[in-house]
Amino acid sequence: EPVLDRWSPKVRAFNTMAGKDPTEVRRRCTSMLGGTLAIGSGPMPFYAGEHLLNEGYCCSFRVVGVDSERHPGAGAFALGVSRVPPTDSRLQGPRCPINAYEVPDVVMVGYGAKYIEERKWHSVPWDSSALKMHDRMAMLVTPAGDLVIFVNDKQVVRIATGLGASSKEEQQKFYPIIDLGGHVDSLLLCPPREPPHVQLRSRNRVQRIL
């Protein structure tokens, strides 16, 4: 299976469209929130080596469109991963979920300051409404299963999840998923890049809210 290099043309919600560049995805109707799910075309690359501070599955994004006037303070943007590939029948046609958190086997961070896994909602200290134009995000899944989000090479959240491999030798496939809501209305998938070279801080505590 080809590694991640663009957004999948097979899975897009009704309010999501690709730009001229297949690595860009944007909200079709900027005044409408919802229906803005997009998924990567392939699995995230795995990075390992003695030169790295952080090993794991990683991909990066850059904010290339915001609409702070129409949606001031709206924090509906979210990003995450799923083990379900874009070719899965559950993501095709009318069966495709409207919201990213409805995708099977997904872990999401965003929607303001939330973390969602197995349809359970928790609060986290990072709020996606703080994102600005040209911000660069990196998303890392560590071998232990932690989901780590960086903004401009600064760690903003680290969560222990159920994404860990069953053995150290087993590599998994994780597909990046975004929900292009709130004030962020266009996102670019960046070329492959090693995880940020910064020491990871401790895991954040999360609190169940739903």
Is the pLDDT reported for residue 73 higher than 80?
A: no
Residue 8, pLDDT > 60, answer: yes
The pLDDT of residue 94 is above 90: no
Residue 110 has pLDDT above 60, yes or no: yes
164 CB-side CA count, 13 A: 11
Spacing of C-alpha 191 from chain mean position: 15
Percent residues over pLDDT 70 in the chain: 94
**Mean pLDDT for the stretch of residues 178-207:** 94
Q: Please report, for the chain, how many H helices and E strands are present, in that order.
A: 0, 16
Q: What is the mean pLDDT of the chain?
A: 91
| 74-85 confidence digits (pLDDT tens) | 558 999 999 999
pTM: 0.93
Residue 170 has pLDDT above 70, yes or no: no
